[in-house]
């Protein structure tokens, strides 16, 4: 989205619901409970995330909330709570807080617990006070973010729990909602998972389609050398479909990881024995909650699961005025 488009979206929202110009959540507006010493990790959000929030509000509000304009007194002040209708893992609380404050900076949001905390049915997740119109206008957008992100965190926690007692990292993938990658990977971390690469720019992954173009070991070695020279510190991962490929990749200087793609547990065990700790091994391909523990038992270092983000359902949350 161009900067002019972002400005137009922001101006349309501000025309009806002015908000501070600076891209910071006012710390005085986000209150923490005394019983849980939770400190925000950062008062800033990445510019693309602010764009998503403002786009969502513009999509919903546009020229104004007609219901609130005609049925809610402009001077009315209220308190509200966001409640859990089912158990889960909290993620996206600061995003939800920002939604309310984009609509009306006078709204105060109290975060009762940090992202990553577990909650039960009936628990209060956020407490909101301020102008009633602003609270009700922001309600659906705030819940949309919170329900989606809590859903990802909750599903991730189930996968993380399922690999116990094995010391295996549960990784996400790039199979994320377009535009939401930062948000969804944040939710994976809240659920106890580990982020894989953020995009094509921060890690090399040589997959089967790349290898179809050129799988000669000399050419692979030359490419790895050039990557390491141009981008020191960037990790290089190679995808292997067979044990023969694993054995060949072990001869390459500078390779950091091997992804074992769609291998059954027996083959994974053979790969682990073959590698004998010489390189980091990631298992991937069709991993489910029912199969992940058996995969973890093979001795691989990590298991990546696209389902963490592409198959998570939104949790059932609601906002209730008090």
Distance CA 119, CA 113 (A): 9
Tokens describing residue 262: 């769609």
φ, ψ of residue 284 to 5 degrees: the values are: -155, 160
Do the Cβ atoms of 289 and 47 come closer than 8 Å?
no
**Of 70, 81, 64, 75, nearest in space to 106 by CA:** 75
**Of 102, 159, 51, 96, nearest in space to 319 by CA:** 96
Tokens describing residue 216: 């000669």
Distance CA 47, CA 49 (A): 5
The C-alpha angle 152, 157, 158, rounded to 5 degrees, equals: 100
Which sequence positions are flagged as catalytic? 140, 175, 207, 239, 261
Tokens describing residue 34: 């005394």
């Amino acid at each position: 989205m161009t900067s002019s488009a972002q400005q137009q979206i922001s101006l349309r929202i501000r025309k009806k619901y002015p908000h501070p110009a600076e891209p910071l959540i006012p710390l005085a507006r986000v209150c923490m409970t005394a019983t849980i010493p939770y400190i925000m990790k950062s008062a800033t959000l990445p510019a693309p995330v602010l764009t998503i929030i403002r786009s969502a509000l513009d999509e919903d509000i546009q020229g104004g909330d007609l219901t609130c304009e005609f049925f809610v007194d402009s001077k009315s002040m209220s308190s509200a709570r966001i409640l859990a209708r089912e158990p889960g893992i909290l993620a996206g609380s600061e995003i939800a807080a920002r939604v309310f404050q984009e609509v009306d900076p006078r709204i105060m949001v109290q975060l009762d617990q940090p992202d990553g905390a577990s909650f039960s049915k009936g628990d209060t997740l956020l407490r909101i006070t301020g102008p009633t119109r602003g609270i009700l206008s922001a309600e659906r957008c705030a819940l949309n973010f919170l329900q989606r992100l809590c859903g990802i965190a909750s599903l991730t926690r189930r996968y993380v729990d399922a690999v116990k007692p094995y010391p295996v990292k549960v990784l996400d993938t790039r199979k994320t909602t377009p535009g939401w990658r930062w948000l969804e990977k944040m939710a994976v971390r809240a659920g106890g998972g580990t982020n894989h690469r953020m995009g094509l720019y921060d890690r090399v992954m040589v997959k089967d389609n790349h290898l179809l173009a050129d799988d000669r070991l000399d050419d692979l070695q030359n490419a790895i050398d050039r990557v390491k020279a141009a981008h020191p510190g960037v990790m290089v991962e190679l995808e292997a479909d067979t044990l023969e490929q694993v054995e060949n990749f072990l001869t390459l200087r500078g390779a950091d990881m091997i992804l074992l793609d769609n291998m059954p547990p027996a083959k994974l065990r053979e790969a682990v024995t073959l590698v004998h700790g010489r390189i980091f091994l990631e298992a991937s391909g069709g991993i489910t909650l029912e199969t992940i523990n058996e995969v973890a038992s093979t001795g691989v270092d990590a298991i990546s699961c696209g389902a963490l983000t592409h198959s998570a359902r939104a949790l059932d949350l609601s906002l209730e005025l008090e």
